[in-house]
Structure 1
Amino acid sequence: MSIQSTIEAAVGSLSPSLRRIAETIRERPTIVLESTINDLAAECGTSVASVVRFCQAIGMAGYAQLRVALATELGKESAQFGMPAAYGADVSPGDSLQEIARKISSLELMAIDETIGSLDFEVLERVVGRFENASRILLYGVGASQFVAEDLQHKLFRIGRDAFVLSDPHEAWAAAALPVSGVVAMGISHLGETKDTLEFLRIAAENGAFTVALTGVPGSAIANAADEVLYTRARETTFRAGAMVSRIAQLALVDCLFAGIAQRRYHYTVDALRRTREVTRGARGV
């Protein structure tokens, strides 16, 4: 997991003074390379001791280690994706539309790269097996996570799997409360603290379902509540009216999950996709 993604995942659990440091680095990661520890503390309106505590909170021994690690990370990312030194930086007030597009593109490319690069394939294999053998698949998310759930449900439905997206929390809890054998329930939440999603997983588990969480934060509430956890890695932008970069990471992981399930019945899947494609093409021609 990259330093910047570690900071992104930790923001919600930090104290106010440490959160200011995290948010400053999220917006302009190169500030660590350009500033002494005293300069960074002054920029964030906090103390040198707080900067040290921040470094320790994200697994660094101190500021010197953070500077070296972040310099290495930014250098690798710039070389890998061919972006300028501001690679990985957040959108700023003075950016042109071209710069905004480049920054969004770089963040989304990194999200996919880091998510797949850090994926625990043994966990994914077990989740694929559970989905493959499920009698019923229940999917739930709030806001942008619901769109990801709908994307997975659409794909699974096209290959004959009984998958349901539950958009209303009461509907989701009611479905989760039914003690049907072989149910798999997946809750999707980037920060992993959405109360309705957590309640959905709790009720499902109490009634015998196998539960899966898809989240970007290790140690989050839904990660602790689920039988298996699939993690995304993403650095969100300031403009989070709805999830942007994290949504791309979730969709990439959902695609891997779907492909694993579909491959288990390869010939049936190919035939099912052909049939559904042909019938929808025919309907458009009516």
Structure 2
Amino acid sequence: MAKTAKVSATGGARGSTASEARAAAGHDTGGLIVHISGLLPSLSPAEQRVARLVVADPADAARRTITDLATAAETSEATVIRFCRSVGMEGYPQLRIRLAAEAARRVEPPDARVVGGDIPPGADLAQIIATIAFNDARAVEETAEQLDAEVCERVVDAINNADRVEIYGAGASGFVASDFQQKLHRIGRTAFYFPDVHAALTSSALLGRGDVAIGISHTGTTSDVIEVLEQGRARGATTVAITNFPRSPITEVADFVLTTAARETTYRSGAMASRLAQLTIVDCLFVGVAARNRARARKALEVTAEAVQAHRLGGHRRKA
């Protein structure tokens, strides 16, 4: 069954990522550091060492010569050039210019002890709070900055016109999937979330044209979610991936890709800042669908709120 080409966060065809399209166009929406962070798992080990130096301190990297950066990353100048091309730059001079611009616009944390999102040994609770708050807020802001409204619009269209919507996620992403399902259900959309992979597989086997399958995975490598999304796509359903990494395996089985921009702090890999970033996308999609059916959604929300009113302290059921 023929399928349309995958659309990433900039609406590009399969084979190109959102950030690559922006780099090619010379745009800086979302920021170069967000772009590099998203591509990091797809880079070679040597290129990853360069990437980590650049992400940790863009201003310092912009001041370095190519020889200095290669030495600091314990690699060669040729690897630095390959890294530049991997992230969409023509060469090292262009990378330095973009890094300098990124450093100039970068928002610094209010607490000087918050550096790079890491929580060092011996950190007091005030420092922990400041670090988590800053990085959570940054994840939401950077996700919103790089989120393409046109692609979100197309996903909202697909959900709005769908006969059935199924949402998949595991672990922390499963909580986000469950939240999205409940939100859609509250406004009268037929949506399902299956925490059990066998139930998800049997359900996705019954999907078809006019249905939508949404897979949520921070790393984009969760095999259960990829398998279910792949099966839904094979049956003709429109597939959507929400992930932090635009070159991850889940994007290969998705018609639409929406990317988050989360960098986890110590102790929280793939679990907290990523969850808030995912919820940002989910909320945008939910409100988009609700706005298309404003009167119906408002009525559904009123009816469902009334249904549980008696179960709140001080609440009472209205008389018919």
TM-score, reference length from structure 1: 0.86
Does structure 1 residue 202 correspond to structure 2 residue 224? no
- Residue 129 of structure 1 corresponds to 157
Does structure 1 residue 32 correspond to structure 2 residue 61? yes
- Residue 236 of structure 1 corresponds to 264
- Give ranges in structure 2 of 5+ residues lacking alignment: 1-29, 316-320
Q: Bigger shift: 149-158 or 228-237?
A: 228-237
* Aligned counterparts of 1:278 and 1:251: Cα–Cα separation in 2: 25
Instruction: Please point out which of 61, 70, 74 is paired with 1:45.
Output: 74
Deviations 1:86-136 (A, max 9, x none): 887231526554444334333333332332233222222221122122222
- Give ranges in structure 1 of 5+ residues lacking alignment: none
Instruction: Please point out which of 252, 255, 273 is paired with 2:301.
Output: 273
In structure 2, the CA distance between the partners of 1:48 and 1:100, relative to structure 1 (3 Å rule), is farther
* Aligned counterparts of 2:125 and 2:101: Cα–Cα separation in 1: 28
- Residue 77 of structure 1 corresponds to 106
In structure 2, the CA distance between the partners of 1:251 and 1:238, relative to structure 1 (3 Å rule), is same
- Residue 93 of structure 1 corresponds to 120
Instruction: Please point out which of 9, 16, 34 is paired with 2:45.
Output: 16
Q: Bigger shift: 209-218 or 43-52?
A: 43-52
* Aligned counterparts of 1:15 and 1:121: Cα–Cα separation in 2: 32
Displacement of 1:176? 0.5
In structure 2, the CA distance between the partners of 1:85 and 1:66, relative to structure 1 (3 Å rule), is farther
Aligned length: 284
- Residue 282 of structure 1 corresponds to 310
In structure 2, the CA distance between the partners of 1:176 and 1:169, relative to structure 1 (3 Å rule), is same
Amino acid at match of 2:117: D
In structure 2, the CA distance between the partners of 1:243 and 1:64, relative to structure 1 (3 Å rule), is farther
Does structure 1 residue 185 correspond to structure 2 residue 243? no
TM-score, reference length from structure 2: 0.78
Amino acid at match of 2:151: V
Classify the secondary structure of the residue corresponding to 1:230. strand
* Aligned counterparts of 1:242 and 1:219: Cα–Cα separation in 2: 17
In structure 2, the CA distance between the partners of 1:128 and 1:244, relative to structure 1 (3 Å rule), is same
Amino acid at match of 1:102: A
1:140–1:172 Cα contact (<8 Å) kept: yes
* Aligned counterparts of 2:189 and 2:284: Cα–Cα separation in 1: 16
Displacement of 1:12? 0.9
Deviations 1:128-167 (A, max 9, x none): 1221222221100122211110110111121222211111
> What is the Cα-based RMSD across aligned positions, in Å?
2.7
Between structures 1 and 2, the one with greater helix share: 1
1:119–1:230 Cα contact (<8 Å) kept: yes
- Residue 3 of structure 1 corresponds to 32
- Residue 277 of structure 2 corresponds to 249
- Residue 66 of structure 1 corresponds to 95
2:207–2:235 Cα contact (<8 Å) kept: yes
1:8–1:236 Cα contact (<8 Å) kept: no
- Residue 4 of structure 2 corresponds to none
Classify the secondary structure of the residue corresponding to 2:106. helix
